[in-house]
Amino acid sequence: MPKLKTLSGKDVVKIFSNFGFEGISQRGSHIKLRRTLDDGTKQTLTIPLHKELDKGTLRAIFRQSLRYIPEEEIKHYFYG
């Protein structure tokens, strides 16, 4: 597998905004992103807004996003 990119929390929020996620709340340094599908299903992700996300955190966010977004569509944002 290619190497995981170095991303900030803001970078990750921008990536998910491309897929229709919007910030709905923030508590401390964590922002909650949500998108609502046509059938009313709500999909939620929580992202820490740190200057640089740890590799393990970034990997966990990527794995969680695979529940909502196909790997082929999102992989190039996280791995390069």
CATH architecture of 9-72: 2-Layer Sandwich (3.30)
What's the CA gap between 44 and 36, in Å, rounded? Answer: 9
Domain boundaries, the chain: 9-72
Dump pLDDT digits (tens) for 43-74: 999 999 999 999 999 999 999 999 999 999 99
Model-level pTM?
A: 0.93
Average pLDDT over the chain, rounded to an integer: 96
Count H helices and E strands in the chain, helices first.
Answer: 3, 3
Q: Over 80: is that where the pLDDT of 1 sits?
A: no
Bridge-based pairing state of the strands 30-36 and 22-27: antiparallel
